[in-house]
Structure 1
Amino acid sequence: MNRIVTISILLFLFCFQVEAQKTEFKNFSQQDEHTFLIETSIGFYEFNFINREVLQVRFLENKLESLPESHAVELPKSKSSIEVKTNENTLEFFQYGLAVEIQKQPFAIRYVYKGEELLQHKNGFSTETVKVDFKIDENETLMGGGARALGMNRRGHQLPLYNRAHYGYETRSEQMNFALPIVFSSKKYLLHFDNPTTGNLDLDSQFNNTITYEATSGAKRFQLIAADDWETILQNYTALTGKQPLPARWTLGNFASRFGYHSQDETEMTVAKFKEEQIPLDAVILDLYWFGNEVMGTMGNLEFEKDSFPNPERMMKRLKDQGVKTVLITEPFMLKTSHRWEEAVQADILVKDSTGNAATYDFFFGNTALIDVFDPKAKDWFWNIYKGLKEQGATGWWGDLGEPEVHPAHLIHYDDQKANEVHNIYGTEWAKIIFENYQNEFPEERPFILMRAGYSGAQKYGMMPWSGDVNRTWGGFQSQAEISLQMGMQGLGYMHSDLGGFAGDLLDDELYVRWLQYGVFQPIYRPHAQEDVAAEPVFRSDYAKNLAKKAIELRYQLLPYNYHLAFENSTKGIPLMRPLFMEEPDHFELYNISQTYLWGNDFLVSPVLEAEQSQKKVYFPSTNNWFDFYTDEQFEGGQFNYIETNKENIPTFVRAGAFIPLAEIHQTTEDYTFNNLNFKYYFDETVETSQRSFYNDDGQTANAFENRNYEMLHLNFEHFEEVSELQIEHEVKENFNSDLEEIHLELINWKKRPISIMYNGQPVSYEYKNYTLLIKNISIQEGKKQLLIRH
């Protein structure tokens, strides 16, 4: 047995030496206590240790080479102290965490975490092109590459790194709007190739256990992150690329949207219909008809069409008075038939051709040029358009076609940048214009920026991505959770879909309802579609409308829970939708599952993805037992179960020991208060102690958390043989005025009527029925309180 192992190792080393023998080790030097330089016969490898979980690697052809500045990463000050171990043929940069092992002859580089190998260079960096490859394990699952519909395991695919729209996709799409140069693995590491230029990411498409990254130009640089759990990996990744700012509370409500509302009257009539049907609504989105009567020829007008929207200021004010915000679509294309064409040419804000003139070309909407969002003049010009529309009453922004959808390679951007060098960061730079100008001119506001294309780190500019023009079919629906889960693991936690599907004219009420029920547990709740079939529930059949209303009402009831998820994302980088493997990172079967996922920490959700599906196979994570959210039926963790479905809702479960706050249902979030919440506690004797916190602020002021303008409610439950204790702490920061006065507590699965219940030493009344203990009107003031339940 030992002889076989030895022969296998020797064969492996021989193969590796053949591939690596082109590079020779020469020397190493220490730049500072956490940065090391390896000199080889072809150039220099620089290893910069950021902390125990994060390492940056750069390749320099000479020691003084300056690489292009990163568009995604800002390195924090290092917290690492590295020990160097060296002998005749090996060199190790060691810490308790990520480490690098160098073999001098033949030259080889391995990356290890806590002594376990993660991956190793195969041929190292190429000196001829921007290319690097790695040898990986035979059985690891590979994910990433941005937004794709390929299944959770993307190993075996070569992924183009070029943002491109895919109209009408369903269960498979190899190339979409976010082509991110990121790989993450079931071995609990993440690789970010820090270069936005177009290229390819090959995830072992030749089945030779190799990852290859290749770009057309740019920096030879990557960051490697590894940890024991995915939460730590994501916190580190978003510390590098930026965290999503907390959005305004209204953005978690329901949107009315379609392609599109043709007039002011139609817009106001639609909003009125929601109020008439008592279906909650917080925003209406105007597609391209707001600036033109026709689809063709009007793009670039960027001003209200007065024939159909005669008084937009009055319309948007009337809507806002009802708690409904107006979101406007904008595009970066300037058609030659646009009212603003001459203005744009004179202002010199368009991308150029080789002669220095505005580069024009044909695409679907007409003959066009492209606004150069990298040019300071264009940034100012574009922002002034947004600022003027904001002064008219617009509240949010929808940036469409920002791949850019058609972007010829011969175009020359500001500072002589080629199209392929900036294509993938165009959408990010566009969002940055809006976000940074809000910071400068409206620093108290949180902007809403909906966009469908961008690059690593786009989340730090408040970008809310969506999954493009998905087909309005069951196949289109089936790919949506996968896309959101993958993107959330790559920093963009608000990836969501056009609820109900966008492309096509399929009228299928069952599909529509199931998609909207799923939407309760996705980051943005926005039904949207081509207008051949209504996207809004108020214009659907009674069957679809009534079930959609029920789903939307649940979305509003969950607002305190969802707002806390948004807060967690803004402070820790943890996505709202979470794959099951985050819960059990060493359960490798879970890396292939997207049809069941976690919504935050405490909900387990399994959408109904097939027509007339009567059963759903659901995995219950082993970390807890679980309760059916609608029936309170209990399920043991660590196993699969077949769950019967019903039309009223989708299979939804709550973690044992969880507190779930439910708010009153309001027509808009404008009427929401963090008061009178009903906290459901899911009691299970296996959970002896449970702690949850819930964040609240005014829902609109930027940087409320940083400026200590918020409150937190902390609930800590402990269960003992004779007594159970709930400690309640209400933390109110000095710059916040709280409305919280009382809460209600509902203990699920409480098996025995209590002997007594005391709150701060005083007896309180309660109701007990069907294993549910209900305690109403628990008074809350700032500070700590104690509720004792004697069994």
Structure 2
Amino acid sequence: KKFMVFFDAPQKALADIGFTNRNRFRIESEVKAFNLYLMTGPDYKALLKEYTTLTGTQPLPPLWALGNLQGKYGYLSQIHASNVVDSIIKDKFPLDAILLDLYWYGKGIGDFRMGNLSWEQSNWPKPTDMINNFSSKNVNTVLISQPYILKTSENYHEADSLGFFATDSANNSFLIDDFWFGPASIIDIFDAKAADWFMQKHKPLIDQGIAGWWSDLGEPEKHPAGIKYKAGSGKNLNNLYGHTWAKTTSSFYRKNYPNQRVFNLIRSGYAGTQRYSTFPRSGDVKRSWAGLKAQLPIMLTMSMSGIPYMHSDVGGYAEGVFNEELYTRWVQLGVFSPIFRPHGDKHPTEPIYYSEETRKIVRNLLNLRYELIPYIYTMAYQQTVHGKPLVRPLMYEQDDDYLLDKYDLYYFGDNLLVAPILEAGANSRRVDLPIGTWLDFFTGEEYYGGRTIEAGAPISKIPVFVKAGSFIPTIKAQTSLPLIQTDNLTITYYYHNDVTKASGELYLDDGKSPDAIKKGNYQLFSFSAQNSDKELSIDISHNDGVYLLRPGRREIELLVKNLPGRPENVRVDGKGVEFRYVPKDKQVQVKFTMGSAPVNIKIK
């Protein structure tokens, strides 16, 4: 049996795991009492299921959050941001959001204005018009916010007089003199009145059309010794600050915007922070090959800790040089990550500023992500309902201890295996294929697992493999994601004769309603396949759930890949139909219309 220990105490602690005494697991904490949970299970998958049952799963994200979220440090003005959005769209890159860093409220060094929570008018003269213009193009606006208020801010005196800051030993607002942005105090997020006051300052911006928040510096970044809150000392509450801030944001939306899903980009939290619709970034990572390589263990271990949407600044954030190869390889990783969000300082983060070759590669990659949105959104549903991680280390699916430190490839959902390129100049890489039969996602080449292969990886390709017996639902690539356009839906089944039974599912809803699952306002498709020596039978059905703008009928294209030869006939609900067979791809193509009734397809 496997076991997991959850030490539920945010204070500083020491874990001695077999170091002093090989057979002893010792945990020490300064607090007198804390909760300790011991979970057991037959494998790591069962352990994570137990842990998410305890700490919770993440609500469904707004659909647009799974698209291209463009950021940079930083867009300096309304004109700058508008030009970038228009240029990205003009160059035919899909786009769902623009993230505005601290220049939206200040001018930068010497004039930060942190804590004003209002637009810097000289550079952003008509923000409502800008937001509405972006929205008309299905581009959402996300703003950065911090829990610190500079002493020079227009909100400082009010918060200070109300006692809404963390305090010092004399119960005065604790002024952090050496804060990088200037002398400031931090909001007492543990005080309900202070937290509500802080969120009320955000409300006019939400009403203006801001779609989500980038909650920055919530570690807290600067947290001097001796600082205290009404709930206790800063020392004991340090690790709960970001978590409590996320909870505050979620509760505020639930009360004031009950029909809106929350998008909250964070970089700190605690066990259970996922319950509050958080999307953690790995921080200001170095723009280097080492920085890229470090993202896999971060993403995968956080995923195995119940935090499903950990991701990185695509392209790297800090230092480094302009490097098109590194940028391309990071984009490839990002496309197969829970969240795709380019962000960085100094060097371009937008594909429009790269060479024609790189732009073409990145455009194809982004279109691929948007084609896979039905698959990715179903992964999000499975996380919310079942606690299944979106990205998974090999040991989650294959219970072998030797895989514990294997982080250079991973599962993307149930069916895809991703092997990112992590070295400069590499045109191929070794891939340790898990047990089973695998097909190259791009070429269809077949491999038996349980062995190591050398996978080709020219700059335009990331090695991705699909498990035999998988159903992968896709759509035609969209330019944005106000809704998954499923009037025309492609379902691809990856055939192999050794797979006698297979199943899959597809989740669809309006992409917006927080209570879609609870209220039954969704459509859940079930796919199943049964394979005999002479016939492949595929059944497709759904719950006939209703949601806003759901198509009543859909045109379905069923692709069966890796079929060894041309079928004698294809029947849909017992009737012979025309089909197309492509020998080069070993692929059968069948088209039919589907309404509320189940459909059976037999290929003989």
TM score, norm. by length of structure 2: 0.97
User: Which position in structure 2 is the counterpart of 1:199?
Assistant: 13
Q: 1:344 touches 1:350 (CA, 8 Å); kept in 2?
A: yes
Alignment of 1:687 with 2:502, yes or no, is no
Contact 1:280 1:668 in 2 (8 A): yes
Deviation at 1:207, TM superposition (A): 7.9
Structure 1 residues 276 and 736: CA distance shift in structure 2, 3 A: closer
Per the alignment, in what secondary structure is the counterpart of residue 496 of structure 1? coil
Kindly provide the CA deviation profile for residues 139-193 of structure 1, in whole angstroms up to 9, marking residues without a partner as x.
xxxxxxxxxxxxxxxxxxxxxxxxxxxxxxxxxxxxxxxxxxxxxxxxx221100
- Counterpart for residue 425 of structure 2: 612
What does residue 173 of structure 2 align with? Answer: 358
- Which 4+ stretches in 1 moved above 6 angstroms? none
In 2: Cα distance, 1:329 partner to 1:220 partner: 34
What residue is the counterpart of 1:652 in the other structure? Answer: 464
1:602 to 378, 395, 415: 415
Q: Name stretches of at least 5 consecutive residues in structure 1 with no aligned partner.
A: 1-112, 114-187
Q: Which is higher, the Rg of structure 1 or of structure 2?
A: 1
Alpha-carbon deviations, 1:323-363, whole Å to 9, x = none?
00000000011111222211221232110111111001222
Q: Which residue does the alignment assign to 2:99?
A: 285
Paired residue for 1:190?
Answer: 4
The one-letter code matched in structure 1 to 2:446 is: Q
- Partner residue of 2:147? 332
C-alpha distance in 2 between matches for 1:500 and 1:560? 25
Q: CA deviation at 1:709?
A: 0.2
* Other-structure match for 1:86: none
- Work out the CA distance in 2 between the residues paired with 1:672 and 1:494: 20
Q: CA deviation at 1:459?
A: 0.4
- Residue 733 of structure 1 deviates from its aligned partner by 2.2
Matches within 5 A, 1:484-503: 484-503=299-318
Q: What is aligned with 2:567?
A: 754
Shift in alpha-carbon separation, 1:470–1:210, aligned structure 2, 3 A: farther
- After superposition, the C-alpha distances for 1:576-612 in whole angstroms (9 at most, x for unaligned) are 1100011111x22211110011001100000000001
d(CA) in 1 for partners of 2:452, 2:159? 60
The number of residues matched between the two structures is 600
Whether 1:699 and 2:514 are equivalent positions in the alignment is no
Match of 1:593 in 2: 406
State the Cα deviation string for residues 454-508 of structure 1 (Å, max 9, x = none): 1111000111111011100000000101101000111101000001100114111
- Cα pair distance change 1:543/1:214, threshold 3 Å: farther
Q: In 1, distance between residues paired with 2:579 and 2:439? A: 23
User: Contact 1:350–1:369 (CA<8 Å) still a contact in 2?
Assistant: yes
SS at match of 1:366: coil
Q: Distance in 1 between matches of 2:23 and 2:283?
A: 32
Please, which of 243, 256, 259 is the counterpart of residue 70 of structure 2? 256
Amino acid at match of 1:262: L
CA 1:314–1:201: 2 relative to 1, 3 Å:
farther
| Matched residue type, 1:640 | T
Q: Tell me whether 1:637 sits opposite 2:452 in the alignment.
A: no
AA matched with 1:695: Y
Partner of 2:598, secondary structure, is strand
Cα 1:339–1:610 change in 2 (3 A) is same
For residue 291 of structure 2, the aligned residue among 467, 476, 482 is 476
Taking structure 1 as reference, are residues 738 and 214 closer, same or farther at Cα in structure 2, changes over 3 Å only? same
AA aligned opposite 2:382 = E
Structure number with the bigger relative contact order (C-alpha 8 A, sep ≥ 6) is: 2
Does 2:188 align with 1:385?
Answer: no
Is 1:268 matched with 2:82? yes
Q: 1:371 aligns with which of 178, 187, 195?
A: 187
| 1:566 Cα deviation from its structure 2 partner | 0.5
Deviation at 1:735?
5.8
Letter in 2 for 1:338: S
Identity %: 35
RMSD value over aligned CA atoms?
1.5
Q: What is the distance in 1 between the residues matched to 2:32 and 2:200?
A: 32
- SS of the residue corresponding to residue 595 of structure 2 reads coil
CA distance in 1, matches of 2:548, 2:505: 17
- When normalised by structure 1's length, the TM-score is 0.74
- SS in structure 2 opposite 1:669? coil
Distance 1:389 1:202 in 2: 47
Q: 1:245 aligns with which of 39, 59, 66?
A: 59
Structure 1 residues 679 and 295: alpha-carbon distance in aligned structure 2, compared to 1, 3 A threshold: farther
* C-alpha contact 1:348 1:377 (8 A) present in aligned 2: no
Q: What is the deviation of 1:258?
A: 0.3
**Structure with greater proportional strand content:** 1
Match of 1:775 in 2: 589
Q: Which amino acid aligns with 2:581?
A: Y
Out of 376, 392, 408, which is 2:224 matched to?
408
| 1:665 has 2:477 as partner | yes
Q: Distance in 1 between matches of 2:167 and 2:555?
A: 62
Report the 3-state secondary structure (helix = DSSP H, G, I; strand = E; otherwise coil) of the residue aligned with 2:265: strand
Code of the aligned partner of 2:577: V
| C-alpha contact (below 8 Å) 2:482/2:511 kept by paired residues | no
Match of 1:524 in 2: 339
Matched, 1:309 2:124: yes
1:397 to 192, 213, 218: 213
Following superposition, the deviation at residue 210 of structure 1 comes to 4.4
Deviation at 1:196, TM superposition (A): 1.2
Residue of structure 2 in register with 1:550 after alignment? 364
Where does 1:569-580 land on structure 2 (aligned, <5 Å)?
Answer: 569-580=383-394
SS in 2 for 1:444: coil
